[in-house]
């Protein structure tokens, strides 16, 4: 099969478009998360999504309509637990992560019917994305990117030096709430591309690779987005031709780019 024929498939076009948007979103947001040492929040929230998606399937709702509000709520609770109960962030993430998985497993066992569907969410299947889901992904991606643009300087300041940002009157609590809620929405979106198990890779790997070679924050954002888009497009293409899962292929391309960036950094 030649490339033009491959590109003419509408499911490939949908996967490229939705995957590209979500990749840019993950890469930009991931940079803030990695620098704030919040990389694993993607992992924790994706596990919460597992429980939320199971809940949606259990009651026969469209899973993402249940996952978006529930994961958003969990992200705020993680933030509040960290701030008010003086629990370390990783412990708070661990608690919600466990509860999410436990809830999902219990619901799956009770339902006796949707285990196959739930499994597809664990590892994602971007090639099966519908036209409606593409539009949903584009709209949410654009909204999240606009919010990041709007709060860019505050996010920059808080990420660089939180106590200084607070001393200059920036409402750091509100900025943290914005960051964590954007992450919640992004995690749910990214599940479609790489699945629950691999979603944190899309948030972490392009950002870490970009930080190896960038010479400024804006260039890091651009490079991170570029790496993420390349990994998604190449991952989808490779998965089609080699008949392997798209989520796994995207992550492996990311790992390869990360390796190259480490080598480039060492040589330069």
Partner 1 sequence: MPVISVKNIDFGYGSTSVLENISFDVERGDYIALVGHNGSGKTTLIKILLGLEKCRQGSVKIFGEEINKFDHWDKIGYLPQVTSSFNPLFPATAEEVASLGLLSKKRYPKRLNKNDKAATKKALAMFGVENLKDRLVSELSGGQQQRVFLARAMVSGPEILILDEPSTGLDPQARDSFFEIIKKVNQDKKTTVIFITHDVGNVGKYANKILFLDRQLIFYGKLSEFCESGEMTGHFGEFSQHLICHQHHEHHQHESKE
- Does 215 participate in binding partner 1 (rule CB under 8 A)? yes
For the chain, the maximum distance between any two Cα atoms, rounded to a whole number of angstroms, is 60
String marking each residue 23-52 x if it binds partner 1 according to CB under 8 A: ------------x-----------------
From candidates 125, 127, 214, 226, binder to partner 1 by CB under 8 A = 214
Count the residues of the shown chain that bind partner 1, applying the rule CB under 8 A: 27
User: Which residues within the stretch 102-161 sit at the binding site for partner 1 (CB under 8 A)?
Assistant: 149-154, 156-157, 159-161
User: Which residues within the stretch 219-248 sit at the binding site for partner 1 (CB under 8 A)?
Assistant: 219-220
- Category of 60 on φ-ψ map: left (φ > 0), alpha (ψ -120 to 50) or beta: left
Q: Which residue has the tokens 């529930």?
A: 70
Question: In 3D, which of 182, 180, 132, 178 has the Cα closest to residue 25?
Answer: 182
From candidates 3, 116, 216, 267, binder to partner 1 by CB under 8 A = 216
> CB 152 → partner 1: shortest distance, Å?
7
> CB 216 → partner 1: shortest distance, Å?
5
Q: Give the C-alpha separation, 267 to 263, whole Å.
A: 6
Hey, what's the torsion of the CAs at 162, 167, 173, 175, to 10 degrees? -70
- Does 76 participate in binding partner 1 (rule CB under 8 A)? no
- Two structure tokens written together for 205: 């790997």
Q: Give the C-alpha separation, 236 to 239, whole Å.
A: 5
Which residues lie near partner 1 (CB under 8 A)?
Answer: 35, 149-154, 156-157, 159-161, 163-170, 211, 214-217, 219-220
């Amino acid at each position: 099969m030649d490339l033009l024929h491959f590109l003419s498939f509408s499911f490939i076009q949908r996967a490229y478009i939705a995957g590209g948007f979500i990749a840019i979103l993950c890469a930009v947001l991931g940079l803030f998360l990695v620098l704030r040492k919040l990389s694993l929040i993607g992992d924790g929230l994706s596990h919460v999504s597992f429980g939320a998606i199971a809940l949606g399937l259990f009651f026969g709702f469209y899973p993402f309509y249940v996952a978006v509000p529930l994961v958003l709520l969990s992200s705020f609770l993680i933030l509040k637990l960290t701030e008010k109960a003086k629990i370390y962030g990783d412990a708070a993430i661990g608690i919600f992560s466990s509860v999410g998985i436990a809830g999902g497993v219990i619901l799956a066992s009770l339902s006796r019917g949707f285990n196959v569907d739930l499994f597809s969410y664990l590892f994602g299947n971007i090639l099966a994305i519908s036209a409606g889901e593409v539009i949903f992904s584009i709209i949410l991606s654009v909204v999240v990117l606009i919010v990041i643009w709007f709060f860019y300087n505050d996010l920059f300041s808080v990420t660089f030096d939180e106590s200084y940002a607070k001393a200059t009157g920036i409402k750091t609590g509100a900025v943290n709430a914005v960051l964590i809620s954007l992450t919640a929405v992004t995690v749910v979106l990214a599940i479609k591309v790489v699945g629950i198990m691999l979603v944190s890779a899309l948030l972490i790997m392009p950002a870490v690779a970009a930080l190896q070679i960038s010479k400024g924050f804006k260039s890091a954002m651009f490079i991170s987005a570029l790496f993420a888009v390349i990994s998604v497009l190449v991952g989808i293409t490779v998965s089609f031709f080699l008949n392997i899962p798209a989520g796994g292929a995207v992550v492996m391309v990311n790992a390869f780019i990360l390796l190259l960036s480490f080598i480039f950094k060492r040589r330069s």
